[in-house]
Structure formats: structure tokens, C-alpha cells
Structure 1
Amino acid sequence: MSILLQIRERMSEEKLMSKKKPAYPVNKKLDAYLDKYNRKIEIPIFYDDLLRFAGSVSVYDEEGEDTLWVRVYYSEFDREEIDLSLKKVYSILHSDGSERILEYLNIDAVDYCTFGNSKPFRIKVRNILNDNYTHFYVKKTDSSRVYGLELEHMLSPYNLNFLVYKDTLIEEHIAGIPGDVFIKDMLPNCSEREQAQLAKEFVKFNERCMIRLLGDMRSYNYVIVPVHDFDHVVYRIRAIDFDQQCFEGKFRVYLPQFFKENLNMVKLVSSRLQEYSVDQYKIEERSIVAKRIISSGNRIRRLINCVKTDEISLPENVTRLKEELHNFTMDVDFKKCETMGQVLSAALDFVRRNYENVSMSQIIEKKF
């Protein structure tokens, strides 16, 4: 059955996502890991401090649509203290943490998102000397989100910069065109060559999310990044939301192809790629991820040791996912798992073993 037919069939079944995912605290083991790898750094402001805003106004896009973000404002006394603290956070995140650059920075906006689980603050920081600006995000710390960020840093083609201190998480902005905006406004104007390249990237992105159990990659949870090569444009797909790392029990949640928001991308794969090409790109991505697992060495082993004993999901989700993965791969290691972290460990180990021990012709016959 083709990918397109599969997604149409699955759309008529039960809802993929749970209504709400709880936040899980960072335990001592993960906290020590973050400290070892310079992710845990003292910061001068916390998420709860930003909740002291005096009022807000809605933020609309260029077409007058509500973005579901609100621009918040603070009392004069609070604003001075908050602005200074946010400038210091920027310096810690992007520079050496010193205060010598603070006089050249301005906090142009503090936006609060009313949609989704994490309810982040988006901070716009501008250099007053040249008007260059960037963003960073302030969120409540959630251990599953932290695991997602670390896995993205190690197993994807992209490095990520983030900080954790107590109950506050600071994330750098990931630049790109939101997937839903690109699919609606730009995809119809792409050439056949660009569409084929986008189809290839979606296959690889789908495979990468599945392998490391990153869920909920609906079109607004990833960005598409155009990279200009010397004679053409290459598109890359990057995840920007890591809330659903290793939480859901339904295996399909970890495959972007099964979300209706991605139907146009799935159609692109069906129309632009032959089945053999899809298999080829899956093998390529599995091999690349396996190489990253091996090259990450002690760092990923320490992270997996943390997550294996951590509570980042519900018992019923663990039971369902390990059964579905066992049925999908026929690997008995999944049956032995008792925590979601052990399921993740078994999935990564399965990919690594296949890369090391199975020939290319045998890999094509594998389902995972």
C-alpha cells in the first residue's frame, strides 16, 4: 500500500494525539548531565517572572490573521528590571555572558503564546547599532522537551543552543519558513525539480522522527529552510517543537506522514518519487542517524542512561508503544521495556545494530 493510501486510511481512525501532555520535572540524573555538558547555567530571570505582565494586545500577521501570540507589556518598574535580565540571558546564550554588549541591545518585544502545551515567551532582541535582530524563547522546563532538544542536537544535521536552570528553559530561535505557511503559499509555485527535492527531504525527515521517537510533527511544528546552492535551491526540514519526545503510545504519532496537515507533502512523495527511491532515502537517513549514534559516543550513552530510568510518559503509553514497535520490527528487545526511555534505547540500538551488521540488500527488506 502506498504512503498516500495509508495516510488516507489512518485519517478515518481514532485521533492520533492525546488531549494534553503533562510536564515532567528534570530529575537529579538529568540535571547532572546538563551540568556536565554546559547546558545548566544560572540565569537572572525565570519563566514565572515574565508572567507578571500588566496587559497584552493580540499580534496579527501581514494578512490580518490572529497569530495566537499576544504582545505583553509590564509596569514601568518591572519593565526596566525585565529588559536588563533578558539582555543578560541573550549574552549568556549567544556570547560569553559578559555585560559589555548590553548597552548595544534593546528588547523590542516580549510575546506570549496562548496556544499549545509549552505556552512560551518569544523575546525579540535588536542590536541598536545596525538594527539586526533575533529571537529566543523562554519556557517552563519539561524533561521530555529537554531530551528532545538533546537528541535533535546529536542525531539531526543541526546543532541546537539551549539553557536549563531550575524550572526555566531558554531556547534559541530556529529560523525558517513555517511548514504550514510554506505548504499553503509557496509549494504550489515550486518547480518539479524543487518538488522532487522537497519530497526527498520529507521522506528523510519522516524517517528521522520515527527513529528517535519525536512525535507531533504537524506542519506548524517544523520549518522549511531554503538553502541557495550555486545553481539551485536546496530545501531542508527542521523540527522546532520538541514537546512530544517519547510521550505518546501510538506509533503513528512519530511518523509525520500520518498527520492530515502534511497530506500535501505526502502527495508530493507519491507523485514525485518512485518506491525504490523512497526506500533508498530511508536507508540513507537510517545510516546517517546510526553514524551519529556511534560518533556521539559517551554523550548519547549518558543521555540514554538518564532517560531509561526517567518518568516521561504514562504507563499505558509505554505498554502500547512497545507492543506496536515489537509488531513492526519483530525485535524482542521492545517486549522487555518497562519505561519509555527503554523503548527509545531499544529503537536507537535497533538502528545501530542494523547499520553495523546487516547488508544493504537486507536493510531494504526491513520495516524499520
Structure 2
Amino acid sequence: MAEEKLMSKKKPAYPVNKKLDGYLDRYSRKIEIPIFYEDLLRFSGSVVVYDADGDDTLWVRVYYSDFDREEIDSSLKKVYSILHSDGSERILDYLNIDAVDYCTFGNSKPFRIKVRNILNDNYTYFYVKKTDASRVYGLELEHMLSPYNLNFLVHRDTLIEEHIAGIPGDVFIKDFLPKCTESEKSQLAKEFVKFNERCMIRLLGDMRSYNYVIVPVHDFDHVVYRIRAIDFDQQCFEGNLKVYRPQFFKENYQMVQLVSTKLQKYSVDQYKIEERSIVAKRIISSGNRIKRLINIAKTDNISLQENIEMLKMQIYDLTLDMKFKKSGTMGQVLAEALDFVKRNYQDVSMKQIIEKKF
């Protein structure tokens, strides 16, 4: 299926409602910050940012008037302290804002802030985006259901996200994958199967190769690769179930080829079962936190009605579980998907469920 038929042309941003706002406050995600997304839009000009090969990165480096720059730099340093430290000002003298980049591509149009420690030249990034309920749900679900914790803050219409380090998937596939050993390619195939399964279970869509990173981890005498999502805009929005399965995007074709050439069907099924079991255990261990989030999502407006109808029927056709058919919101579809995994992760019918592709 052509990619343009998989997804809507543009996803609208959904506001954070009162219940979700209260949830964020309860779990220390909501905190006052000294700068807003709109403040960063006051830049005076910009220059294109090119990569090492001279290609346009679709980011531009923005600059501000002298008056605005001093205020913005000071505020961004404070945001860094709130995000990564105790929020005090004692570290501000040792920080420098090296760059503010603006992305002209995609829905969120984020700002990427490069912060450097002037004492040792270590640097890191964080992102400033417009708050969107879909993105907030995606970040929280990633925090609870993936192997990775996430640090982010919300204040009114501004979202602050920590940087997720790794090699962008498209860059890895182009520059690093051809140099991998056969053993490393097998390990990557396994990880892609698990990543594909994890995205589908929690309805995280649009995992094209530039929306995830590949993280090499050195373990004794070999390298282990991990795949991490870095874009959460398409959480629980689209109606086509294929959007939530990275294998169906043409940008991931080479990763899919790895799976087909390196793994036998039995191994693929086994890795799917492993990932479903791990996610089910995370759902259980998350306790009241994930219950509160899902209960809020059930009554929230985070998708279009036609998308809800399409997705619930596609999942019903695969599972024959009437609870999907009765879902009235995208949050209810998500709730039933997570409950389905939790109820069945120790069931003997899990293999049959996976063979039906859900």
C-alpha cells in the first residue's frame, strides 16, 4: 500500500483537557517554566543547517536581536536546570546556549536547544514544542510501557522534552547497516520485531526511519542494538492499523528485509510473544498510574470519528473481541488493546493471536 494512503495529510493538535492537566500535576510533569514556545518564534532571521555531507537537514539555526537573545538565553538555561537538575540558578554561570534550531518539517515544528557546559565542553540538547494531548499521551505511555524512562515538562501550551540520544534510523540504515556483521544484523532484526510489536500494542504510529533512533550498546565483546521512538505525535490518531506497525513504511524496507532473511518464522513469533509478555508485565507494574492515564484518555477527544470507527473494526476483525467493536473513543480502543494484551499474555492462545497479526 502506498504510504500516502496509510496516513492523513496532517494531524490536528489536541488541547490538554482539565483531567489530563491534573494528571500531569499529580506526577510532577506540570511545572512553571520561564519561557514559552511562542517566545522562541520571535527570531529575527535564520540560516540553513547542513549535515556533514552538505545536505539540508530541514532544520534552520535561528538568531535573535541582542535584547531578546540575552533574555531567551537566560530563560533557556533555567529550563535546562529545571529539566535536568534541581531548578536552582547556581549552575547557570557554567552553561552556554550554543544554538537554537527550528525544524520546518512535520507537525510539531520544534525548537532544538543545544546547551554546553563551559567548564568541560560537554553538551546536550532539549526540545521546546507546542503542547498536544496526543504527544503527552505518547510520552507517558513510552515512559511506562517501553524499556526507557522519559523526562518531560508541560506548562500551558509549551512542552519541554529531553533529548533521546542515538543514531537516527534513516542515517543508520544508509551509513551503518551495510558495515554491520551478520551477527549484528540478526540482532537488529530481532530488535525491529520487538519494536514493531511494541508500537502496535500501544498504538504509536508513524515510526518511519527518521522517527526512531538506533542505540548501539557495547556488551563485553559485541554490540547490542536498541531501537527507541523519538516522535510521539501520532499516538492514537490514525484509523489504519498498519500505521501503528513500522514494517509497513517504505523507509523501513531494509529492516523488514533483515527480518525475512535473518529470522525464521518461529523466532519471529517467539520474539513477539516475549515483547507482549514484557509489555503486559509493565502494564501491571504501572498500577494506578497507567489506569489513571487510560481512564482520562477514554473520555478525551484525540482523534476523528472516522478514524475511531476504522481502527476498532480492523482490530475486531483480527481479534473477534466485541469490546473493540463497542469502543466509542480512541482512548477506549487503546484501553481495550492494553487490556487484551494483559489478559492474554499467559494464555495458551497467544501464539494463535500473534499468527493472526495482532
TM-score scaled by length of structure 2: 0.98
Tell me the equivalent position of 1:21: 11
- Structure 1 consecutive aligned stretches of length 4 or more whose deviation exceeds 3 Å: 356-367
- SS of residue in 2 equivalent to 1:170: strand
Deviation at 1:367, TM superposition (A): 3.8
Tell me the equivalent position of 1:235: 225
Provide, for residues 124-181 of structure 1, a one-character-per-residue CA deviation record: whole Å limited to 9, x for no partner.
0000000000000000000000000000000000000000000000000000000000
Tell me the equivalent position of 1:130: 120
Provide, for residues 37-85 of structure 1, a one-character-per-residue CA deviation record: whole Å limited to 9, x for no partner.
0000000000000000000000000110000100000000000000000
Tell me the equivalent position of 1:309: 299
Deviation at 1:15, TM superposition (A): 1.5
Matched, 1:161 2:151: yes
Supply the distance in 2 between the matched residues of 1:22 and 1:198 (Cα, whole angstroms). Answer: 34
Q: 2:132 aligns with which of 125, 132, 142?
A: 142
Supply the distance in 1 between the matched residues of 2:223 and 2:317 (Cα, whole angstroms). Answer: 40
Tell me the equivalent position of 2:183: 193
Tell me the equivalent position of 1:286: 276
Matched, 1:295 2:285: yes
Task: Write the letter of the residue equivalent to 1:81.
Answer: E
User: Quick one: structure 1 residues 28 and 152, their matched pair in 2 at CA, closer, same or farther if it must change by over 3 Å?
Assistant: same
Matched, 1:179 2:161: no
Matched, 1:324 2:314: yes
Tell me the equivalent position of 2:38: 48
Tell me the equivalent position of 1:95: 85
Supply the distance in 1 between the matched residues of 2:350 and 2:233 (Cα, whole angstroms). Answer: 34
Deviation at 1:364, TM superposition (A): 5.5
User: Which shifted more, 353-362 or 157-166?
Assistant: 353-362
Matched, 1:273 2:267: no
Supply the distance in 2 between the matched residues of 1:361 and 1:157 (Cα, whole angstroms). Answer: 23
- SS of residue in 2 equivalent to 1:57: strand
Tell me the equivalent position of 1:3: none
- Tell me how large the CA RMSD over aligned residues is: 1.2
Task: Write the letter of the residue equivalent to 1:106.
Answer: N
Supply the distance in 2 between the matched residues of 1:178 and 1:363 (Cα, whole angstroms). Answer: 32
Question: CA contact under 8 A between 2:102 and 2:109: conserved in structure 1?
Answer: yes
Supply the distance in 1 between the matched residues of 2:252 and 2:308 (Cα, whole angstroms). Answer: 26
Tell me the equivalent position of 2:248: 258
Supply the distance in 2 between the matched residues of 1:327 and 1:363 (Cα, whole angstroms). Answer: 12
Where do 1:31-42 residues align within 5 Å?
31-42=21-32
Matched, 1:350 2:340: yes
Supply the distance in 2 between the matched residues of 1:310 and 1:360 (Cα, whole angstroms). Answer: 31
Supply the distance in 2 between the matched residues of 1:335 and 1:46 (Cα, whole angstroms). Answer: 41
Provide, for residues 251-297 of structure 1, a one-character-per-residue CA deviation record: whole Å limited to 9, x for no partner.
10000000000000000000000000000000000000000000000
Question: CA contact under 8 A between 1:283 and 1:363: conserved in structure 2?
Answer: no
Matched, 1:209 2:204: no
Task: Write the letter of the residue equivalent to 2:214.
Answer: I
Matched, 1:224 2:230: no
Deviation at 1:360, TM superposition (A): 5.9
Deviation at 1:318, TM superposition (A): 0.3
TM-score scaled by length of structure 1: 0.96
- Aligned-pair identity in percent equals 84
Deviation at 1:329, TM superposition (A): 1.2
Question: CA contact under 8 A between 2:114 and 2:123: conserved in structure 1?
Answer: yes
Question: CA contact under 8 A between 2:95 and 2:118: conserved in structure 1?
Answer: yes
Tell me the equivalent position of 1:73: 63
